Amino acid sequence: MAFFDSAANKLRRRWLVLIAAAMALSGAGCSFQNRNEREAEKITNAVIANDLRPVQNDIAKGIDITRVQVAEWSDELNAQGKLLSLKETTENCAPGWHCFVAKFQKHTYVERMRLDENGKVVNWNFHLLPQS
pTM of the model: 0.75
Would you say 121 and 44 are in contact if contact means Cβ atoms under 8 Å apart? no
What is the rounded distance in angstroms from the CA atom of residue 132 to the CA atom of residue 121?
A: 31
From first to last of the 132 residues of the chain, give the pLDDT tens digit. 454 456 555 555 565 444 444 444 444 444 588 999 999 999 999 999 999 999 999 999 999 999 999 999 999 999 999 999 999 999 999 999 999 999 999 999 999 999 999 999 999 999 999 876
Would you say 71 and 50 are in contact if contact means Cβ atoms under 8 Å apart? yes
Query: Tell me, what's the pLDDT at 18?
Result: 46
